[in-house]
Structure 1
């Protein structure tokens, strides 16, 4: 590890400049705008903690070393605290939320300073013109806003005009590329449609997207063949992007789905990220050891593939996943028409009941969000419990609820094993990603009962799995949250505490940091995140948001 201590000559030079008062952006005599002193610095590379001070100026780390005699506009005493790079959440669904509340409170109060959106095949761009009215209607009903953009450039313009409190980068969703070029039905893309998708993908990356994501368990991304994905990923690779994939199956055929991801990685020669790596349902839990072994073999053989995972044994998604892919083709109205078609009831019921049986029963599927006030009463209840209260069988309750809510029902499914979770988290090829969005306990973003990962992912890894369960040391945990995602995405000036890098920094208490959000009461901020600095400005001070909105849009190089 390169030493970051100030030399005597550098120290003297800074002191002299301060005396002359010629350092721009600082008060007279103050060479730094902010000094963090007396903390245990964990730089994000996995290197051991070392007691060093940090001097910040004009949004960047100006000096690292012994700054005890130096002065600044503001000094933070980090005695008994850890100073680390701001966390980079490589797998999120944050996008529109930043237009609703730019503070990104549920994330920044975890120590997250950079969000990577556009995952699982979905992004708020490009927008299919045929779907614009329905899309805007949903935005108006839920958030009171409308989409004024068509592409990524327009969406970035909207965010920059709003000003945001966290750094934001994004993938483009394959599902949206396909919706624009092919539609939402289960059909193969024609040669002309493939060219249109390639053009849209190229445009998005040139406008700043870091690559493409797929959600291969969701329509319409699921209707793509492996060959279609390889051809699109060749475009991603040529433009030095990343392919992030919610694989085609995460339970009975999870091993085959991972092999498909590896095939795409090999044949397209594309940097690949497997999203929320897991094996769902008890009959598949035994597969995790083999999955991790194969992942490590692939990495050791030189394959450019990694994965991410959140620290919970329940997933979060839409209730519609309990219904077959063929039924989810087309528009929302098309899906609801099939749910209302009595001739399809037997087939729909067989599929849904079989999926519920595999997870362990409808009592393991908990409703997190309903759009209408009428059905808010079901939030926090399992499908089984709600069905019993409503006097219906679980399948019939689920079917009716989706119709009433126009497919706007989110659920949490308890499908994973705790021991497997620990194995996945400790893999050297797995980093931490929340699979959540930036929300808030108040306002429009405080509705429903979201998965607690929205509020607790990073403090939970640090508190429960690092401090309490000791599955890895603090340096390793922080590396999985900082330099690993930064290097995967090519964020060359973030993710490590180093001179000249952007000053995205978290100061935390290693003895108290812990998540507080639960499945019953998820809208709770964590404890132990004392300070968060975004581009040199204090965004969180002693656990409270300061109101600073100094986040930047991060565009791919």
Structure 2
């Protein structure tokens, strides 16, 4: 044996009660799980007093070039995450063309001081594989970037030629290993797409065995209608769908959560292939651009800033922004998490209300100033959800856990901004805060939501369970002390209680220290 884990309380990942067992690993796979395995192993880990589970699968992430900047995937590995699924919310740095190639590579240079280069998904995967990464990685193709690659940042519908070009590029990414299509229908340019466009694209995805993941068109006032659109796409394109980070935003809409949960449960009972995920926080994370009306976002950053600086259009934008802030409950609910312009970095960690007060500006004028100064690079956290709804959604048996985050590190080039604490704490927070402390669900159910359930939702083979013949992705943790420590004020803090993380049979985290191993694999659709 290469590796033996002994004396641990083993959670298979299927939601059933744990067992006392030893686990033997050879050549990256589990070969024995038994009460006592009497064979020699090169390395033996004593897991006495600890829980052993499958590695956690982050079913909804946004990591891209960050894995090239720091291949150790620090903030994810230290949460026990062994696999992450990226390319969500309609955003992926592939396929690239003259319309969006510069934007993505400029972002890497601006954020991390490193100039990246690729055009296709296959080229991106090859850069990840050489010399390797610490985590398994799969990705969707972002509809927004697919659209930009073919049509630029326009709001118009594609003509027949444009739609066929989108299908060809989408099919290429699927052939190169994409898991399917994702949309960000609250964001331009994805928000300009009609349902028929999405159905047509999803039929091409379905034909190649892929799936559809959607940041829906609305998560507040029109939440029920947005869920209906996803269901329609599921039915008409005959495709498995994933509803991303299900929520009911803003106080007037909190009551809608019950209706939506009941509707999804009804369809799952009818065997509709619907998956859902959610992060364990009541604040979302996005860009400040979300507080501008949709029409003002057409054409990308250059056009947005032109409209903000034009007196006529600016007043129309102001009316919408003021309404949205009021609907959310006030500017104190908007926390600035990242500003790219060095002269404005001191605003990170401030609320829009506090920033407006200190500058003597209205909340809208403060937002406008930040966006213009920062060339539309401001990211925020928005406190728009209720604790009660968050618990209802998380406890639904068909909801898996996704961080909706990027892999960061509190050192080097990835030590930027004031990120959402979910980036460092999502999975330990489910184990500690929600399962152990609040008793929202038992530990075995918490583990299922982070292992076998997301593996099934994403069609991952031989992952998500501790079974003979499965890939040896494992986490050893202390169920009594596991906890998230990241906060909105001080988010760059690793969790406690995660002892050992094993990826494809290699120890990546040992007694809380990263070993530097890079055994992660690219998870391609169909493999």
Could you say what secondary structure the match of 1:261 adopts? helix
Which residue of the other structure, out of 403, 407, 410, is the alignment partner of 2:372?
403
Q: Which segment is superposed worse, 285-294 or 389-398?
A: 389-398
Q: Check if 1:168 corresponds to 2:119.
A: no
Match among 95, 103, 111 for residue 142 of structure 1: 111
Structure-1 residue corresponding to 2:33:
64
The corresponding residue for 2:201 is 232
Q: Tell me, yes or no, if structure 1 residue 350 matches structure 2 residue 325.
A: no
> How far apart in 2 are the matches of 1:44 and 1:390?
52
Match of 2:77?
108
Alignment pair present for 1:335 and 2:308 = no
In 1, distance between residues paired with 2:339 and 2:55?
33
2:272 aligns with one of 292, 297, 303: 303
Mapped to 2, the partners of 1:200 and 1:45 lie a distance apart of: 37
Q: CA deviation at 1:47?
A: 1.8
More displaced, 346-355 or 156-165? Answer: 156-165
Report the TM-score, using the length of structure 1 for normalisation. 0.93
* Matched residues, number: 526
CA distance in 1, matches of 2:427, 2:102: 37
Hey, what's the Cα distance between the residues in 1 that align with 2:104 and 2:30?
42
The Cα of 1:298 is off from its aligned counterpart by 0.7
CA contact (8 A) 2:105 2:117 kept: no
- Contact 1:276/1:433 (<8 A) preserved: yes
* Mapped contact 1:205–1:211 kept (Cα < 8 A): yes
8 Å contact from structure 1 (residues 99, 162) kept in 2: no
User: 1:99 aligns to what?
Assistant: 68
Q: CA deviation at 1:267?
A: 0.8
Describe how 1:117-196 pairs up with structure 2 within 5 A: 117-196=86-165
Task: Please give the per-residue CA displacement for 1:322-343, whole angstroms capped at 9, x wherever unaligned.
Answer: 0011111113211111111111
Aligned match of 1:249: 218
Alignment of 1:538-557 (within 5 A): 538-557=507-526
In 1: Cα distance, 2:107 partner to 2:460 partner:
34
> Does residue 75 of structure 1 match 2:44?
yes
Q: Is the 8 A contact 2:100 2:152 kept in 1?
A: no
Give the structure-2-normalised TM-score: 0.98
**Aligned 8 A contact 1:184 1:331 in 2:** yes
Asked whether 1:474 is paired with 2:443, we answer yes
Structure 1 outlier segments of 4+, above 4 Å = none
Instruction: State the shift of 1:148 in Å.
Output: 1.8
User: For the residues of structure 2 that align with 1:332 and 1:162, how far apart are their CA atoms?
Assistant: 35
Question: Quick one: distance in 2 between partners of 1:418 and 1:308?
Answer: 16
Q: Deviations over 1:252-293 (max 9, x none)?
A: 111110111111111111100000000000101111111100
CA contact (8 A) 1:174 1:213 kept: yes
| 8 A Cα contact 2:177 2:523, kept in partner | yes
Aligned counterpart in structure 2 of residue 221 of structure 1, from 176, 183, 190: 190
CA deviation string 1:289-344 (max 9, x = no partner): 11100000011112111100001000000000000111111132111111111111
Per the alignment, residue 8 of structure 1 pairs with none
By how many angstroms is 1:68 displaced?
Answer: 5.1
Which residue is equivalent to 2:248?
Answer: 279
**Partners of 2:356 and 2:410 in 1: CA distance:** 28
Equivalent-residue separation in structure 1 for 2:454 and 2:413 (angstroms): 30
State whether residues 50 and 476 of structure 2, in contact with CA within 8 Å, keep that contact through their aligned partners in structure 1: yes
**Which SS does the other structure have where 1:52 is aligned?**
strand
Aligned residues of 2:100 and 2:145 also touching (Cα < 8 A): no
Aligned mates of 2:413, 2:329 — CA distance in 1 = 33
* CA distance in 2 between partners of 1:332 and 1:422 (Å): 37
Partners of 1:130 and 1:66 in 2: CA distance:
58
Residue in 2 that maps onto 1:54: 23
- Structure 1 residue 135: deviation in Å? 3.3
Give the secondary structure class of the aligned counterpart of 2:3. strand
Partner residue, 2:361 = 392
Say if 1:328 and 1:162 are closer, same or farther in 2 by CA, change over 3 A: farther
Distance 2:60 2:109 in 1: 26
**Alignment of 1:488 onto 2:432:** no
Q: Does the alignment pair 1:448 with 2:454? A: no
Contact 2:93 2:104 survives alignment (8 Å): no
Residue 167 of structure 2 corresponds to 198
Structure 1: runs of 5 or more not aligned? 1-31
Q: Tell whether the 8 Å contact from 2:5 to 2:46 is kept in structure 1 after alignment.
A: yes
* 8 Å contact kept, 1:86–1:505: yes
Conservation of the 8 A alpha-carbon contact between 2:23 and 2:37: no
Aligned to 1:266: 235
Task: From the superposition, tell whether residues 303 and 134 of structure 1 become closer, same or farther in structure 2 (CA, over 3 Å).
Answer: closer
Structure 2 residue ranges without an equivalent (≥5): none
Per-residue deviation, residues 398-456 of structure 1 (Å, max 9, x unmatched): 01110111111000000000011110011111111110110011112111111100011
Q: Which residue of 2 aligns with 1:24?
A: none
Q: State the secondary structure of the residue aligned to 1:129.
A: coil
Please say which structure displays the higher CA radius of gyration. Answer: 1
Q: Is the 8 A contact 1:55 1:67 kept in 2?
A: no
Cα shift readout 1:87-141 (whole Å, capped 9, x = no counterpart) = 0111000111101101111111000000100000000111121333343333212
Instruction: Write the distance in 1 (CA, Å) between the matches of 2:153 and 2:514.
Output: 41
Structure 2 match to 1:5:
none
